[in-house]
Structure 1
Amino acid sequence: MDMQDWRPRLMRGQWFSQLPVSLQDSLLSATKVRRLTPGQRLFKRGDRPCGLYAVLEGAVRIGAVNEQGKEALLSLVEAPHWFGEIGLFDGQPRTHDAFGVGQCTLLHIPQNVLLALLDQQPLHWRPLALLMSHKLRLTFINLEQLSLMPAPTRLAHRLLMIAAGYGGEIDEPRRILQLPQEQLAAMLSLSRQTTNQILKDLQGQGIIGLSYGEIEILDAERLRVLAMV
Structure 2
Amino acid sequence: MSLFDGLARSTPSTSAPQPGVIFLMVAVPWVMLSSAGSFALRLGLHGIRIVTQVTIEDDMTASPLQERLARTLGRNGWFSRRPAELQERLIRHAQIKTVEADNWLYDTGDEAVGLYGVLSGSVTTRVVLDNGESAPINISGPGAIFGYAAQVLGGRRVTTTVTREPSEIIFVPQHALAAIAHDLPSLWLHFAELATEQLVFAARVIAERSLLDPRAQLASRLHVHALAWGGARGPVTLPIQQEELAELLGLSRKTVNRILKAFEAEGLVATGYRSIQIVDPKGLHRIAMEEGA
TM-score category by the smaller chain? 0.7 to 0.9
Please give the residue correspondences for 1:137-156 in structure 2 after superposition, counting only pairs within 5 Å.
137-156=200-219
1:226 aligns with 2:287: yes
User: What secondary structure sits across from 1:52 in the alignment?
Assistant: strand
Q: Which residue of 2 aligns with 1:57?
A: 120
Structure 1 unaligned residues grouped into runs of 5+: none
Q: 1:183 to 1:170 in 2, by over 3 A?
A: closer
> How far apart in 2 are the matches of 1:202 and 1:105?
32
Q: Does the CA-based 8 Å contact 1:12-1:171 persist in structure 2?
A: no
Q: Which residue is 1:90 aligned to?
A: 153
1:103 aligns with 2:166: yes
Partner of 2:182: 119
The aligned residue for residue 4 of structure 1 is: 66
Q: Do the aligned partners of 1:49 and 1:94 also contact (CA within 8 Å) in 2?
A: yes
* Correspondent of 2:198 among 135, 143, 160: 135
**Residue of structure 2 aligned with 1:212, choices 262, 273, 276:** 273
Question: Residues 27 and 116 (structure 1 numbering): CA distance in 2 closer, same or farther, change over 3 Å?
Answer: same
Hey, what does 2:93 align to over in structure 1? Answer: 30
| Higher radius of gyration, 1 or 2 | 2
Deviation at 1:68, TM superposition (A): 9.1
Distance 1:76 1:217 in 2: 16
Q: Give the C-alpha shift of residue 161 in structure 1.
A: 0.9
How far is the alpha carbon of 1:170 from its aligned partner?
Answer: 9.4
Query: TM-score w.r.t. structure 2 length?
Result: 0.70
Q: Under a length normalisation based on structure 1, what TM-score does the superposition of the two structures give? A: 0.88
In the TM superposition, residue 221 of structure 1 has moved relative to its aligned partner by: 4.2
2:263 corresponds, among 202, 222, 228, to: 202
1:192 aligns with 2:253: yes
State the partner residue of 2:225. 162
Letter in 2 for 1:187: L
* 1:17 maps onto 2:55 in alignment: no
Does 2:114 correspond to 1:40? no
| Cα shift at 1:70 | 6.4
C-alpha deviation, 1:181, in angstroms:
0.6
Higher percent of residues as helix: 1
Task: For residue 25 of structure 1, report the CA deviation from its aligned partner.
Answer: 2.1
Segments of 5+ residues of structure 2 without an aligned counterpart are: 1-30, 32-61
Deviates more, 1:32-41 or 1:173-182: 173-182
Please say if residues 63 and 74 of structure 1, whose CA atoms lie closer than 8 Å, have aligned partners that are also in contact. yes
* Separation (CA, whole Å) in 2 of partners of 1:70 and 1:10: 32
Could you tell me whether the CA contact under 8 Å between 1:72 and 1:189 is conserved in 2? no
Distance 2:231 2:219 in 1: 21
Coordinate RMSD, CA, aligned = 2.5
Equivalent position amino acid for 1:80 in 2: G
**How far off is 1:42 after superposition?**
0.6
| Paired AA for residue 238 in structure 2 | L
User: Is contact 1:12-1:170 (8 Å) kept?
Assistant: no
Structure-2 separation of matches of 1:155 and 1:118: 40
Count how many residue pairs are aligned between Structure 1 and Structure 2: 227
CA distance in 2, matches of 1:219, 1:173: 7
Q: Which residue of 2 aligns with 1:177?
A: 238
Give me the identity figure in percent: 29
SS of 1:228's partner is helix
Q: Which amino acid aligns with 1:114?
A: L
